[in-house]
Amino acid sequence: MPKTAYVRTKPHLNIGTMGHVDHGKTTLTAAITKVLAERGTEGGTVFVPFDRIDRAPEEAARGITINIAHVEYETDTRHYAHVDMPGHADYVKNMVTGAAQLDGAILVVSALDGIMPQTAEHVLLARQVGVDHIVVALNKADAVDDGEDTVLTDLVELEVRELLSAHGYGGDSVPVVRVSGLRALEGDARWTAAIEALLDAVDTYVPIPERYLDAPFLLPVENVLTITGRGTVVTGAVERGTIRVGDRVEVLGAGLDTVVTGLETFGKPMEEAQAGDNVALLLRGVPRDSVRRGHVVAAPGSVVPRRRFTAQVYVLSAREGGRTTAVSSGYRPQFYIRTADVVGDVDLGEAAVARPGDTVAMAVELGREVPLEPGLGFAIREGGRTVGAGTVTSVS
């Protein structure tokens, strides 16, 4: 049976859940799909249960999210692709990849625990990779529900607003909604209404971003899969431009020229994908092993990958989970740029050293070429933790 084609009836946005490990991101994601599936919006949302979101066997066994999971849902006014990001410190690099393409994020904070290290780290990284709007879900509100405890929840809310303001998110005006993903999943009416309120906040607070539809096509590869009998498929969010079946593209990083022979979003074929869409591209004659996460699919000749750039970088303080000691020229950490993870040599020039907490200018030479442009955000990591966050200022 032919699959039903994707029909674009509402604006599409990419959002996601982020926040500290175990604060309830995956539970909330499942609850959102449940509430919307039951609301029965035209076009439809399919309920995705918790264990289908945390789906790799290793993740299910450990009960933590390692990889990024995508789900799709629709409110009355919008179509959303939602990425559920991991909270555990070891998987922050996966979170960075997921956040790199978000129009807005739901910051999940447990009302029981308040701000924890990855709450702060995710806010900082979200800012750095260009997530402009955050809505807060103060989760597990069911567990702190009476008398004195509201005072504690009020304090957590205040603390979250301060954290957001400190990172330029205008904490006073950010919507903070008290929810219980767990109780909503169980069908409790009060907490179902709270999820509705959260979705209304997302619908109204996260604006429809300006899409660069006229720019040449570009898609950072998030994942690569093989479809038996058909070929190699790459997935990711279209950063700019549009693409149709039959269009020529190049795969930067793999050094390949090819043609798009199939186009889908969430399993539904589509005629044309545009900036912001989360898609799968079937590529003609591309061997599975030649393409990797971090490569970029682009209109032929539209981007020239580079190795050298200058940047403005914030070196995280020890309190933010960063280094305890300064770095100097010759430092060689990993750079997370779009979906790529590349080693780079740092030259601090005159400044010579950068201490935790400093903002410095640096010149970087990457171990391999990637598409770069001024304004592009990136993260710097070392030994499994984030040590810096920066923005490209010039490319040479």
Q: Which does residue 192 touch among ligand GTP, Mg ion, none (CB within 5 to 8 A, set by kind)?
A: none
Nearer to ligand GTP, 22 or 277 (CB): 22
Shortest distance, position 212 Cβ to Mg ion, whole Å: 31
Q: Which of residues 31-70 bind Mg ion (CB under 5 A)?
A: 65
The residues carrying an active-site annotation are 22, 25-26, 88
Nearer to ligand GTP, 87 or 371 (CB): 87
Q: Which does residue 182 touch among ligand GTP, Mg ion, none (CB within 5 to 8 A, set by kind)?
A: ligand GTP
Nearer to Mg ion, 14 or 334 (CB): 14
- DSSP letters along 103-167, please? SEEEEEEETTT-S-HHHHHHHHHHHHTT---EEEEEE-GGGG-STHHHHHHHHHHHHHHHHHHHT
Shortest distance, position 284 Cβ to ligand GTP, whole Å: 37
Q: Which does residue 139 touch among ligand GTP, Mg ion, none (CB within 5 to 8 A, set by kind)?
A: ligand GTP
Nearer to Mg ion, 65 or 101 (CB): 65
Residue 253 and residue 277 in contact, taking contact as beta carbons nearer than 8 Å: no
Structure tokens at 310: 């200058």
Site membership for Mg ion, residue 161 (CB under 5 A): no
Shortest distance, position 40 Cβ to Mg ion, whole Å: 27
172 known member of a binding site: no
Cα(290)–Cα(284) distance, rounded to whole angstroms?
13
Helix residue ranges per DSSP H, the chain? 25-39, 50-53, 57-62, 92-99, 117-128, 148-166, 181-185, 189-205
Q: Under the rule (CB under 6 A), what is the footprint of ligand GTP? A: 21-27, 64-65, 86-88, 139-140, 142-143, 180-182
167 known member of a binding site: no
Q: What's the Rg (C-alpha) of the chain?
A: 21
Cα(241)–Cα(360) distance, rounded to whole angstroms?
33
23 known member of a binding site: yes
| Terminal-residue alpha carbon distance, the chain | 51
Residue 317: which of 94, 106, 166, 172 has the closest Cα? 166
Shortest distance, position 346 Cβ to Mg ion, whole Å: 33
Q: Which residues contact 338 (CB under 8 A, 6 or more apart)?
A: 100, 220, 239, 294, 296, 370, 371, 376
Shortest distance, position 189 Cβ to ligand GTP, whole Å: 15
For residue 155, count other CB atoms closer than 10 A to its CB. Answer: 12
10 known member of a binding site: no
Q: CB-hemisphere CA count at 13 Å for 221? A: 26
Site membership for Mg ion, residue 258 (CB under 5 A): no
Nearer to ligand GTP, 181 or 356 (CB): 181
Site membership for Mg ion, residue 26 (CB under 5 A): yes
Binding residues for GTP: 19-26, 84-88, 139-142
- Binding-site residues sit at 19-26, 84-88, 139-142
Annotated binding site for Mg(2+): 26
